């Protein structure tokens, strides 16, 4: 029997260790590019630049690489426990090319989707209702919030079926995007839906070892291109002028200064929006220009708490809803209107004894900053109610609970970004370089409609690497810099 063991442990994932002498020589030589942040966007850009012949140095505030990607391999079942990103949405080439080169095993999430309706477990049959509502969104009209769109487009007839369809559509948009329906813009949603269609975004996949497989690919590339990673280093101040950037940083040894001709900034949206002085927030001197601030105002950071529960066994295999004719043994997703954890999923098709609860938007806000015992209690109580399994039985079978509060994490301050009403063009404005000196990447800067995704972050890193290469070529037309692949 596969078992999960232990409560959450501190991650030891990190960049390649660097000797003091190596770092000293690197700092003396001043790298061509400093990348701020070792999240997926920063890693993708750094590896592209390293491949092109740049001297690259990554500065990361955490004691590990990955940013909002964090995988823990449970020693009991050998299964990946994700604290952040988990699914591969569709077949984005940015992700699939990297994972296939590494011969990573990728499986599609299929199985049965179950719903709780009026307290009863039943097969889900409402997707067509949701699609019918979402297809009515039109980006040729004046932009509006999704909440306002629902009030306008689905005002009548006020039947029970109509009310349920609206409620489900509202839950889908706020759940999938971790967004406030009263803020998220219809134009942004439409762009995202079109982008998903191009990559079969309605399909979901996982790598065998979770997103650790992707980080392992980047680790290998960091070694190949001799890219250094300076961990546990917080940037307090970024002073800049055209062609020169000076960073004031603090690490366990104290305060120091780093310099480079160009800097790539991959901070999460929330840190760029926050006022200087908070932990993890960089003071820009001079301040970012008005067009950047205007773009930031049109974007928002979603909130979510996700909890993965590990049990001694897959107890839901024995749950057989009345009249269903089968058990939940092939359950992949569970949807409900629960106020705390409305969405759940298993490791299907793997038979690991883990199940994850998803608390987006308001539920995530209520759970954020609460104690571990409070979050675990709410999670277990929700699962007990939905599956009609006694709480005492769950407590006996529970081996561990894993979660991370990204809202209170000073280096993320939220889950992932979304566009508010009037956000068209905001990602493009945020992605524009400043005087060929400050460059920007991260999922919030992706211009292809894939904000909030790992592949969107990778794409933004590739785009920023190309911008830096172009700027370097213009400055040194006779250089031997090669283009990133």
Domains and CATH numbers, the chain: 20-69+211-300+415-475 (3.50.50.60), 110-202+304-402 (3.90.660.10)
Taking the mean position of all CA atoms in its chain, how far away is CA 71?
12
pLDDT at residue 155 in the model: 72
pLDDT at residue 193 in the model: 97
Q: How far apart are CA 47 and CA 298, in angstroms?
A: 30
Q: How confident is the model over 161-191, as pLDDT tens digits?
A: 778 888 899 999 999 999 999 999 999 999 9
Residue 461 in contact with residue 42, Cβ under 8 Å? yes
Q: How confident is the model over 426-440, as pLDDT tens digits?
A: 999 999 999 999 999
Residue 261 in contact with residue 243, Cβ under 8 Å? yes
- What angle do helix axes 40-51 and 212-224 make, rounded to 10 degrees? 30
Residue whose token pair is 């990602």:
427
As a whole number, mean pLDDT of residues 319-347 equals 94
pLDDT at residue 28 tops 60: no
pLDDT confidence bin for 258, thresholds 50/70/90:
very high
Q: In Å, how far are 48, 285, 420 from 461, measured between CA atoms? A: 8, 24, 23
Q: How confident is the model over 199-255, as pLDDT tens digits?
A: 999 999 999 999 999 999 999 999 999 999 999 999 999 999 999 999 999 999 999
At residue 18's C-alpha, the angle toward residues 63 and 480, to 5°, is: 110
Q: 3-class SS at 220? A: helix
The dihedral region occupied by 413, where left means phi > 0, alpha psi between -120 and 50, and beta the remainder, is: left
pLDDT at residue 430 in the model: 98
Q: In Å, how far are 30, 274, 426 from 280, measured between CA atoms? A: 23, 10, 23
Q: How far apart are CA 454 and CA 44, in angstroms?
A: 11
Give the largest Cα separation in the chain, rounded. 74
Q: How far apart are CA 36 and CA 300, in angstroms?
A: 21
- Across 156-160, 291-295, 323-327, which has the greatest mean pLDDT? 291-295
Q: How far apart are CA 421 and CA 187, in angstroms?
A: 8
pLDDT confidence bin for 277, thresholds 50/70/90:
confident
pLDDT at residue 19 tops 70: no
pLDDT at residue 392 in the model: 97
pLDDT at residue 437 in the model: 97
Of the candidates 170, 200, 179, the one whose C-alpha atom is nearest the C-alpha of residue 419 is 179
pLDDT confidence bin for 3, thresholds 50/70/90:
very low
CB proximity list for 205: less than 8 A, separation 6 or greater: 87, 88, 90, 91, 106, 107, 108, 109
Q: 3-class SS at 451? A: coil
The neighbour count for residue 169, using CB atoms within 10 Å, is 24
Residue whose token pair is 């283009």:
483
Q: How confident is the model over 121-168, as pLDDT tens digits?
A: 999 988 888 999 999 999 999 999 999 999 998 776 667 777 888 889
| Least trusted range by pLDDT, from 108-112, 324-328, 391-395 | 324-328
- Residue 260 DSSP code: E
Residue 107 in contact with residue 85, Cβ under 8 Å? no
The neighbour count for residue 454, using CB atoms within 10 Å, is 28
- The token duo for 210 is 């979770």
- Residue 278 DSSP code: B
As a whole number, mean pLDDT of residues 441-466 equals 97
As a whole number, mean pLDDT of residues 94-122 equals 94
Taking the mean position of all CA atoms in its chain, how far away is CA 236?
24
pLDDT at residue 157 in the model: 61
User: 109 or 125: whose pLDDT is higher?
Assistant: 109
| pTM for this model (two decimals) | 0.91
Pairing of β 33-36 and β 262-265: parallel
- The token duo for 404 is 């991370």
Q: How far apart are CA 347 and CA 353, in angstroms?
A: 8
pLDDT at residue 483 in the model: 55
pLDDT at residue 20 in the model: 34
pLDDT at residue 481 tops 60: no
pLDDT at residue 31 in the model: 77
């Amino acid at each position: 029997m596969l078992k999960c063991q232990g409560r959450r442990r501190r991650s030891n994932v990190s960049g390649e260790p660097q000797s003091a002498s190596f770092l000293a020589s690197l700092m003396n030589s001043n790298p061509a590019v400093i990348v701020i942040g070792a999240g997926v966007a920063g890693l993708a850009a750094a590896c592209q630049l390293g491949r092109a012949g740049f001297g690259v140095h990554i500065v990361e505030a955490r004691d590990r690489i990955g940013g909002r990607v964090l995988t823990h391999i449970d020693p009991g079942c050998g299964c990946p426990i994700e604290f952040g990103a988990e699914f591969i949405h569709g077949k984005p080439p940015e992700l699939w090319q990297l994972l296939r080169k590494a011969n990573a095993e990728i499986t599609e999430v299929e199985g049965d989707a179950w719903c709780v309706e009026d307290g009863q477990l039943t097969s889900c049959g409402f997707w067509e209702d949701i699609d019918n509502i979402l297809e009515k969104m039109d980006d040729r009209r004046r932009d509006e919030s999704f909440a306002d769109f629902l009030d306008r487009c689905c005002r009548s007839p006020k039947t029970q079926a109509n009310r349920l369809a609206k409620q489900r559509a509202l839950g889908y948009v706020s759940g999938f995007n971790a967004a406030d329906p009263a803020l998220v813009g219809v134009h942004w949603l439409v762009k995202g839906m079109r982008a998903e269609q191009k990559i079969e975004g309605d399909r979901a996949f996982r790598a065998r070892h979770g997103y650790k497989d992707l980080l392992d690919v980047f680790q290998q590339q960091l070694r190949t291109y001799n890219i250094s990673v300076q961990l546990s280093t917080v940037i307090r101040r970024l002073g800049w002028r055209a062609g020169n950037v000076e960073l004031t940083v603090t690490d366990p040894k104290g305060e120091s200064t780093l310099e480079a001709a160009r800097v790539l900034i991959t901070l999460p949206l929330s840190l760029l929006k926050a006022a200087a002085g908070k932990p993890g927030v960089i003071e820009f001197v001079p301040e970012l220009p008005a067009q950047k601030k205007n773009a930031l105002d049109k974007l928002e950071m979603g909130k979510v708490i996700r909890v993965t529960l590990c049990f001694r066994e897959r107890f839901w295999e024995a749950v057989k809803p009345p009249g269903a004719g089968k058990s939940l043994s092939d359950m992949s997703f569970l949807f409900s209107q629960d106020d705390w954890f409305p969405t759940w999923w298993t490791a299907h098709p793997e038979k690991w004894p883990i199940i994850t609860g998803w608390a987006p938007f308001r539920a995530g806000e209520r759970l954020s900053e609460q104690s571990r015992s409070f979050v675990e209690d709410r999670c277990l109580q929700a699962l007990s109610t939905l599956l009609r399994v006694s709480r005492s039985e769950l407590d006996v079978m529970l081996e561990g609970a894993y979660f991370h509060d990204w809202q209170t994490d000073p280096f993320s301050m939220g889950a992932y970004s979304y566009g508010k009403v009037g956000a068209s063009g905001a990602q493009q404005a945020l992605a524009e370089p400043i005087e060929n000196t400050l460059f920007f990447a991260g999922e919030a800067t992706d211009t292809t409609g894939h904000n909030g995704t790992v592949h969107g972050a990778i794409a933004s890193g590739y785009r920023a690497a190309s911008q830096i290469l172009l700027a370097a070529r213009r400055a040194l037309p006779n250089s031997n810099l090669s283009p990133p692949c």
